[in-house]
Structure formats: C-alpha cells, structure tokens
Structure 1
Amino acid sequence: MSRTRSTAAFALASALVLSLGACAKSDRDASGGGGGGEGGGTFTFGAAGAPKVLDPYYATDGETFRVSRQIFQGLVSFKEGTAEVAPGLATEWKPSADGRTWTFTLKEGVKFHDGTPFDADAVCKNFERMYSQTGAGATAAASQYWADNFGGFKGGKEPSLYKSCTVKDPKTVDVTLNRVTSKFPALLGLPAFSMQSPTAMEKYKANDVKAQGEGFAFSEYATKYPTGTGPFKFGSYDQANGTVTLVRNDEYQGEKAKIAKLVFKIIPDESTRRQELQAGSIQGYDYPNPVDWEALKSEGNQVLVRPAFNLMYLGLNPKANPELKDLKVRQAIQYAINREQIVKTQLPEGASVATQFMPDTVAGYNKDIQAVPYDPEKAKQLLKEAGVEGFTLNFWYPSEVTRPYMPAPQRLYEAMSTDLQKVGIKVKTTTKPWNGGYLDGVDVGQAGAFLLGWTGDYNTPDNFIGVFFGDTTNRFHTASYPWGQKLSDDLEKADSIVDEGTRTKAYEGLNKTIVEQYVPAVPISHSPPALVLAKGVSGVTASPLTDEKFAQVTVSN
C-alpha cells in the first residue's frame, strides 16, 4: 500500500542501533534454513526499502506497513488473499439504526506484548490517542492516514468523521461517528489504525512528534518500542546492516508463529534482491521485474501473482503548469498517451488499460466508460485550439523505487515522454528518489505531470476516488479548478449514502464526470504485482492489498 501524500521522515540518531537482548546482533547472514514448526528457524525477506517509522499510526509507506502487519492487529482484518473484511481483534460488529454508532465485541484473553490487557478500555484509549493529536501530530503530513480517513482532530477547525468511543463492558465498545460512511468498519483494517499498547504509548511518549526540517522527529516509542498484539514482537532495527528483526510472540493468543525469527533485509535494488535470492541469503522478495518471472520460475522459485487491485496514473498539476488549467490541454494529454502500447510492452501479463480511477472489482466502477483512444492528431488539434502548441511540461518520475502498479518507473516515463513529444509537447525532465524528494516535491506542487499510483486499502470507492479527489488540497491541486470544491462535496455525499444500490449509482456517475468533464489526471493501467518465494517456502498467501502475513511461514531445505 501507498498513500497519496508524502511520508514523514524517520528521524533516528545516527549511531542508533535498536535492540532487544540477543536480537541486537546483526542478522545479515541469517538464512532461512532450519525452518518449520514452533521450534525455531528464520525467514529472511528482501524488503524494497527501509521502514520510515515503527509506529504505524504515523506511517504511510508500504515497507513500514509490511513490518507493522506482523507486529500489530486491528479491530478488523481482511480474509486471506482477498479484500473482504474479516474479524480481527473484534469478533463481530453491528451498526445502530442510524448507521453512526458501531458496537464491537472483542476477543477475550488477548494481551499486548508488554502484558497490558487488550480490552474495551484499550480500544478507546487508542481512538482518543489518534483523535487528540496536538502540535505537529495534528497535521495531515504527520498523521496522514487519520487525516485521509477520519479528517480533523479534537479541537481543530476541520470536521472529523470520529465522534466518540464508549466502554460498555470489558469486551464491548461503541465507536460513534459524526456521519454515515461506506468505509466503516473496513478502514479499521488498515495498519495505521492498529491497536497499540496504551501502557507503552504513555511510558515512551508515543504522541511526542515534532517537526524537524522537512520531516518529523518521533519519540522512542516509534523508534524502539512499538507494542502490539500480533504473532511477532519487535526485536531490532540494525541500520548499519540494513535489517529489521522480529521475534516470535510466545504469548500470542492464537496459532503461534512457526518460525522463531523474521528478518526483513533492506535491498532497494530489484536486481540485487534477485541475486540474493539466488545466493540463498534471502528466501523471498517483493516486486520482481515482470520480465524475470519466467526465469525465476525456471530456477525453482515460486512467483505468486496478486490480483490487480491498483491503479497507475499520470498526475496533472496546474500549480506547476498553468497551461493545465485548460480542459483541452488535459484532454490532449489523454489522447497523446498510447496506453495500450504501454500495457503491452511495459507491464506484466494480466495488466489492463484503466478507463477510470478504480479497478472493476470496486462497487461504483462504471462499465459504460470507454478508454480514451490513442489519437495524436486529436491531441495536436486540442493543443492548437488551446493556443499552447509547443508548451513545456514539467514531467517528474521517481527513482530508487518499485511499486506494485509501477514496476519500472524510468521505462514508463520514457514511453509517455516520447508520446507527449510526438504531439509537440516539450518535456522538462525531473527525477528524484521516491523518499528523497520525489513525493515531497509532488505534494508541494513542483511537478506539472508526475507518475504515481495506488494500491487499494479496502474495497470501497471512497478508498480510490475519495482519497484522490475528496479534499481540494490533494496533490492534483483541484482547488485550482472551479469544480474542485463541488467534486469534493459530491464525493462526501456519495460516501454518506446508506443504501448500497443508490450509493453505487452515485459513484458510477461521479466516475463518468471525473474522466469526461474534469480530467484531473490520466488513468493509465491496472497491473498484477507479484512476490517471489524460494523453493521450500510455504505458508504465504498473496494478497491484493499486499497484506501478506508471515506467521505461518515454514522453510525447508
């Protein structure tokens, strides 16, 4: 998963090596041998990047969430291999007649890793902690997932979806909202809203977040003591060796992890991840290059292909390129991009051209919308009518990253840049590392056009077009358009419709309006990402949400 705004920087002391007892030593050479059963063994996974912060509430990046999913649990979860909501720390839930109060029945006998009981009081303390952020924490930049999903904070000017949390008894809790929303309770399955130990958060000052340069400095809770209820506990983050180590939670209520240790070895380069898999120093990695899938299989590895629950788009921002305020210019760019050729030559088998800003499995997808055809002559005509022939587009693409929807950013950029130049648009190229200036630059409006995308967090339309365009301060800068506020308001109204059929039709209409009348960006493709496991690894189910859990992994030699 990845969010639409930039992630906060993870501020750690330069010499800091986080450790817990024996886990402090480097696991660089740990192999996956000696695998199965609860007796021991290590599984080492090649991570595409380092976690940015260990407190998932402040996180936004997939690599942090990959670690968080092993340590923490939410009130709800998702059925393995699907986007279907399933019980988590809550065994069941039901809404009130007006749809605003949800009653959750909690699992009993669960404890956090520090021994604190998980109960209704802990749930309410978590919600109040998230809602009651102050200072730097009460900003969308620091608490992005809360801002994107719940809105404002206690005492702030912006309205919040969250209203209150009430303990009914130790195993029953009411969560009350200020309005009906289609995304509740599914959004509680996001790692950002995981239940965390109230004791540890208070002891280690979890809410102590301060602005620091272009990012944030977090408390020692977020750097040393993340405390959840999951099958693994945090062990160490050895920055020098680039490894995050988790250890089995032997007090876990449920089926305990089959391995004693789970290591995430940070390897940003995809080709290097493949080489380490071949050498046996890791037993799996994510986002293999699609051109390598068959070769990986022929070497005896397992290539698990996820459903394409994602979208890649070409973002357009009039703040950096005023020419983009003209609808004809945005439409010209739509016609200029040869999306069918990009899907055919740059993306894996099973990829498809996107007609709108959500996959066809999401309620609200409009089957009547046809993909805008590749028509360079039409593009030239529109540019001429707009009076901007030969204008220069500030086009950005990211480096040092591989995303589920964007396996090779440079090649995708080159294909689109070539298409744009064919219709007379000049291109000024900027490339920056994903977490080294790219996302920040896009967010503050420096890029006129930019490559980004989205992997769904849960299966609702609000999680796609609501996240993209539901706030006029989004990275498309829709406040620059006369229709920006109306679109934001219309999306919130659609999300609040109680009747599912009526809500679906409202979203179908909004999808049509967005791609035909507004054109705030160009939807490019849906792409099925994969992950690779070595021969002998079992117990992993590929998830469309990239929600893979590793507790049941076994490794045989």
Structure 2
Amino acid sequence: MYRVRRALAAAVSVGLAVSLAACADSERGEGGEGDNNATLTIAGTGKPKNFDPIFNDDGESFRPARQIYDTLIQNKAGSAELEPALATKWDVSPDGKQITFTLREGVKFQDGTDFNAEAACFNLDRWFNMKGAAAQSQMIYYQDVFGGFAKNETDAGGDPYYKGCQATNPTTAVMSLNKFRGALPAALTLTAFSISSPTALKKYDADKVTQSGDSFTYAAYATEHPVGTGPYKFESYDASNGTTTLVRNEDYWGEKAKTAKLVIRTIEQESARKQELESGAVDIIDFPAAQDWKALEGKGMKVEVRPAFNVLYLGMNEKNPKLKDLRVRQAIAYAINREQLVKTKLPEGAEVAKEFMPKTLTGYADDVTEYKYDPAKAKQLLAAAGATNLSLKFYYPTEVTRPYMPDPKAIYTSIAADLTAAGIKVEPVARPWNGGYKDDIQQAGKHDLHLLGWTGDFNDAYNFVGTFFGREKPEFGFTDKAAFAAIAAADGEPDATKREEAYKQVNRDLLGKYLPALPISHSPPAIATAGNIDGLVASPLTDERFYTVSKS
C-alpha cells in the first residue's frame, strides 16, 4: 500500500499545491467519529525546546505548537497551498508594501480573551520590537523573513522589511513593509509566526530570554503557559521525559478536536518508537525506518509517505582558514559518494540533491555545477591547496530523527569514511539535538563540518536558499556580501519571470562560485499510525494537525 502512495507522491508537484488529502481519504473508509473521549498518543523524536513559537525553528518544538496555536494564514492540509486561518482573506497592494488582513470574527484565545486586529498587530509589533541579544538570537525565522528588528542587538540583524501594523477596525489589520518582500505573505504560514494571547504574553513576561554560556532560559509563558487559539490547549510538560500533554479546546472556533487529550511523548530511538506502536502504547509515530514500512503494514498499521520537500546538506564552516579555500571545499564535495549514501542509508525514493532546494520550486536550475564522486580529484585539490594534512571537527546530532536525516550517526559514519579515504582526518563530535548541537552550530559556530537540513515551510525558493545563505551566519562562516545581495535581489524582484531567472543564477553561483555547503539528498519521510486511527492527513511540510484524527 505504501508503494502506491509513494508513487503518487513522486508525481506530485508541491509547487502546484496538489493535495494528498484525497489519497488519504480514499483509504480511510467510513471509519466513523471514533471515541470522542479518547487520548491520542504520538511519539515524537526529540524534546521541544519551548512552547513560544517565535523562539523556535525545529519540527519537534513546532509539533505541539501547531496544535495550540493558529497563524493568520495556513497551508491547506496535505499541500503547500495557502488557505485562510485567523485571517479569512488578505489583499496585497500593487507595490507589495501593504498587506490587509480581514480577520475571523468571534475567535477567543484559550484564556478567554478576544482575538481581533489589535491582537494581531500586537504580535507583529512584539516580534519587531523584541529587545535583548539573547531573545533576538533565538528568533531565527523572524530574522530570515523580516530581516531585522526596530533595534538590532546582534550582528545577524539587518535592515527590517517590517514597518508597522495598524488595526483600522476590530476585523482589519494592515501590515506595512519598507520594501517588497517576495516571501510574503506565504511566509506567514510558518509556525514561528503563530498568534499568541497578548494578555498571556504580558502576564508571563514572554519576552524575557536570558543566556548563560551556550544555554538559554525562557520565561514562564514559553515553558508553562502558552496560549493560542488552536484546537488543543496546553496542560503540562514533563521535562524529565519530554512528554507534552494537551487537552481539547472546547471553545475552538473551527472543527472541535476528535480526541479529548493529545499526548506527545519523546522517544528518540526509531526502534523504540516502532515497538511502542506495535504494542499499542502509542497511536502515531513519526519517521519510521524505511525498512520497516512493509512490515508495519503487514501488522495492520497504516504508513503514509510524504513527498520529499526537504534537503540534507553537509555544512562547511569557513571560520576555519583551511575551509575558506574554495578548493578545499570542492575536495570535500568530490570525496563524498553521495550516490552510495543515498542508496544504502536513506529510504527508497530518496535522491541525490543537485542543489539546496527541491526541483518542484520555481528557480531550480538544471545546469548547476555537479560534484560527482571522484576521490582522486579530491586528493589533487587538497594538494593544490596545501591541505594534505587537513584535520576537521565533524559535528553530528544525537537524540533526534529528522525527515531529511533518519539516522544521523549512520550518515555521519558513511561521510566520515569517504573523507578519511581521501586523506582528511575526521574528529567526530556528537551532541544532543536540543541539548547543545543546534546552539554549537547555529549560534557559536564551533564546528568545521556538520550535518543539517531543512523541510520546506512554504512554497518559495527563499525558504530554502534565503534561509540558508541570505545573510551571514555562524553555521557557515560565509561572508560574501555579493551572494547575500543576489538573494535579496531575487526575493525583491516583483516580476515573476525575472525572479525565477534570478533564483536560477543564485543556485548556479552557490554550487559553482561559493560552495558554502554540499547538498546531499532529498528524502521522503513517513508517518505511521495504528490500524484504529483515522483522519490523519500527511503533509509534505510535516505540518500535521491532529484535531482531525479519531481513534476507535
């Protein structure tokens, strides 16, 4: 059964926003509403960092947030197509500098306060006016989409796109921009831009973020009292085992959740998640190993395979003087047998990535520089660069499974073996995903090489290449202002045809001229459920919302 769904997925263009919901519906049958008082238990792969979406950028933190909060605009279930959420419609001015949102009436936050235009503007203004370097450094998505703050307190901040927001009446909010932003309004579907209760934000001092070394501490709003307008309300979080408990929001403005309680357990090991599903201890597991898909279905489970709207890459930190030399980065690229890696370590349907975004996105270029496996050429380039004794710290994450990286250690081991064979000494550094890895990579830049990737959040080239390389980041140590300017120019080009060509040139330059990282693969991730679970719609964005799911 999963093979049929995967064949369909391979033909789906996410850029055309074709929904997978019909495929899911065809296999659900009549099903019924199930037990309205049931508890739905999901096994996630890592602990959430916190529950304030603006301070997060990873799927395990966004999984509970998507159930607690709503955004102004959302993606239609099973696709990347935009649809109304808290905003029933949005109108963009001819110059793209003003977006007028018509807001849904009668919506309440989970603390009983009203959602209205003032609340929408409060959230937008909150992000723009955020104070403190610690808080700003954690707002990765905000910096990527909106460029900068009212007062930048980190080196990463730039000129802000956001200008202001005006509530012209209770149901109309007008967002003004300083200049055209191609990624908007689609980027407002990002979970990071979920709308919080202004009353709760103020009551629990939400903007207070402190840093001690590489660790960050968040306010009570983010750890104990998140308040949105979504179908489930926050009840508790057990930090000792990473278990989040949510309960149905009986006052939800839309379709009420079909289960009374939603429990998200952290089970880091894929084999343990599978065993818990088979035993009936959990109802849904994310990212089952590809070799288990057929066996799970043979035991009565359901396996949904999402299209591969993602990329895995090997980052190369140019903070290291040796890696500043393009020839060394090219040598690393030639040293890696990506074809063999994809064939042996990734699911059926995975493919070698030519560039940093899926081919379904407008701006994908077929004629980029390619780095076929050639260890002899790698050694020649190292010799030419005077780097025959190259030694690199290679970071990889533990305690996590990602859609693009089902087994980080196995992928690291394969790449490290290739690099060693090319004469590069590799020092492994394994760090927990939300226990130091991301901060070491994205904040401190301690690494030389690292594994990371991305599942697309919205249907735009900027969401990939702009997120990675649109500005200077510790992750890559990449400082070429011409590259940043080219990406900004592509995003700021209102003519669709010119914009497409501009992004194609960006992709050509990233692979041929700069090579700040090496794209490894695009991999189709799966989600599996028990046989008595109905109503799940798998998302190419891994943007599943569980209020539609019933349990019989």
Farther off after superposition, 410-419 or 439-448? 439-448
Contact 1:136 1:211 in 2 (8 A): no
Paired position in structure 1 for 2:140: 144
Report what 1:408 is aligned to. Answer: 407
Shift in Å, 1:423? 1.8
CA positional deviation for 1:170: 1.2
Contact residue 74 and residue 194 of structure 1 kept, 8 A? yes
Kindly indicate whether residue 190 of structure 2 is the aligned counterpart of residue 194 of structure 1. no
Structure 2 residue aligned with 1:269: 269
Give the CA RMSD over aligned residues: 1.7
Residue of structure 2 aligned with 1:154, choices 150, 174, 190: 150
**Residue 14 of structure 2: aligned partner:** none
Deviations 1:164-209 (A, max 9, x none): 0011211111101111111101111111111111111122222222
Aligned-pair CA distance for 1:213:
4.0
In the alignment, the residues of structure 2 paired with residue 258 and residue 507 of structure 1 have an alpha-carbon distance, to the nearest angstrom, of: 43
Instruction: Report the counterpart of residue 85 of structure 1 in structure 2.
Output: 82
Name the SS of the counterpart of 1:99 in structure 2: coil
Unaligned runs of 5+ in 1: 1-33
2: distance between equivalents of 1:339 and 1:239?
38
2:56 to 54, 59, 65: 59
Match of 2:12 in 1: none
The residue number in structure 2 matching 1:280 is 280
Aligned partner of 1:72 in structure 2 is 69
Q: 1:469 to 1:109 in 2, by over 3 A?
A: same
Matched, 1:39 2:49: no
Q: Deviations over 1:243-288 (max 9, x none)?
A: 2111111111121111111111121222111111111110111111
* Contact 2:54 2:194 (8 Å CA) reproduced: yes
Q: CA deviation at 1:474?
A: 4.3
> Is the 1:75–1:89 Cα contact (8 Å) retained in structure 2?
yes
For 1:330-409, list aligned pairs within 5 A: 330-369=329-368, 371-409=370-408
Q: Does 1:94 align with 2:91?
A: yes
Call closer, same or farther: CA 1:145–1:396 in 2, change over 3 Å: same
- Counterpart for residue 179 of structure 1: 179
Q: Secondary structure at the match of 2:548?
A: coil
Residue 462 of structure 1 deviates from its aligned partner by 0.9
Greater Cα shift, 120-129 or 371-380: 371-380
Q: Which secondary structure does the structure 2 equivalent of 1:288 belong to?
A: coil
Output one character per residue of 1:279-314: Cα deviation in whole Å (capped at 9) or x when no partner.
111011111122222221211111111110110111
Describe the SS at the equivalent of 1:127. helix
**CA–CA distance in 2 between the matches of 1:440 and 1:35?**
45
State the AA in 2 paired with 1:415. S
Deviation, 1:137, is: 5.3
Q: Residue type of the partner of 1:44?
A: T
1:338 to partner: Cα distance = 0.8
User: Is the Cα–Cα contact under 8 Å of residues 86 and 103 in structure 2 kept in the other structure?
Assistant: yes
Letter in 2 for 1:506: A
Q: Deviations over 1:469-489 (max 9, x none)?
A: 11123411112xxxx111011
SS at match of 1:491: helix
> 1:436 Cα deviation (Å)?
2.4
- Deviations along 1:93-144, whole A, 9 cap, x unmatched? 111121100111111111111111111111111111111111245522x222
Say whether the 8 Å CA contact 2:131–2:151 is kept in structure 1.
no
The answer to whether the Cα contact below 8 Å between 1:137 and 1:207 also exists between their aligned partners in 2 is no
Between the two proteins, the alignment pairs up a number of residues equal to 517
SS at match of 1:311: strand
Is residue 502 from structure 1 mapped to residue 504 from structure 2 by the alignment?
no
Task: Give the whole-Å Cα distance in 2 for the aligned partners of 1:278 and 1:38.
Answer: 20
Partner of 1:14: none
Q: Which amino acid aligns with 1:42?
A: T
Distance 1:156 1:451 in 2: 29
Separation in 2 of the partners of 1:475 and 1:243? 30
Aligned to 2:424: 425
Aligned match of 1:22: none
The residue aligned with 2:514 is 518
Residue 212 of structure 1: how far off its partner (Å): 3.5
Q: Distance in 2 between matches of 1:213 and 1:127?
A: 29
How much has 1:439 moved relative to structure 2? 2.1
State the identity %: 50
**Secondary structure, in 3 states, of the residue corresponding to 2:265?**
strand
Write out per-residue CA displacement over residues 299-343 of structure 1, whole angstroms, 9 at most, x where no aligned residue.
1111111110110111111223x2212111111111111111111
In structure 2, what is the Cα distance between the partners aligned to 1:155 and 1:408?
40
Q: Is the 8 A contact 2:134 2:210 kept in 1?
A: yes
| 2:201–2:221 contact (8 Å) kept in structure 1 | yes
Q: Does the residue aligned with 1:97 lie in a helix, a strand or coil?
A: coil
How far apart, CA to CA, are the structure 1 residues paired with 2:413 and 2:279?
33
> Matches of 2:399 and 2:241 in 1, distance apart?
19
Give the match for residue 224 of structure 1: 224
Query: What secondary structure is seen at the aligned counterpart in 1 of 2:122?
Result: helix
Deviations 1:332-381 (A, max 9, x none): 11111111111111110110110111111111110223632111222122
Aligned to 1:327: 326
Q: Which moved more, 1:69-78 or 1:216-225?
A: 216-225
Contact 1:354 1:371 survives alignment (8 Å): no
User: Does residue 248 in structure 1 map to residue 244 in structure 2?
Assistant: no
Q: 1:553 aligns with which of 542, 549, 552?
A: 549
Match of 1:104 among 93, 101, 104: 101
TM (norm. structure 2) is: 0.91
Does 2:488 match 1:492? yes
CA distance in 2, matches of 1:288, 1:262: 20
Number of the residue aligned with 1:460: 460
* Aligned partners of 1:164 and 1:175 also within 8 Å: yes
Flag the 1:517–1:241 CA change in 2: closer, same or farther, 3 A: closer
Distance 2:175 2:488 in 1: 20
TM-superposition CA deviations, 1:211-245 (whole Å, max 9, x none): 24422222222222111111111111133454211
Q: Over residues 456-508 of structure 1, what are the superposed CA-to-partner deviations in whole Å (9 max), with x where a residue is unaligned?
A: 111111111111111123411112xxxx1110111111110001111010000
Distance apart, 1:437 and its partner CA:
2.5
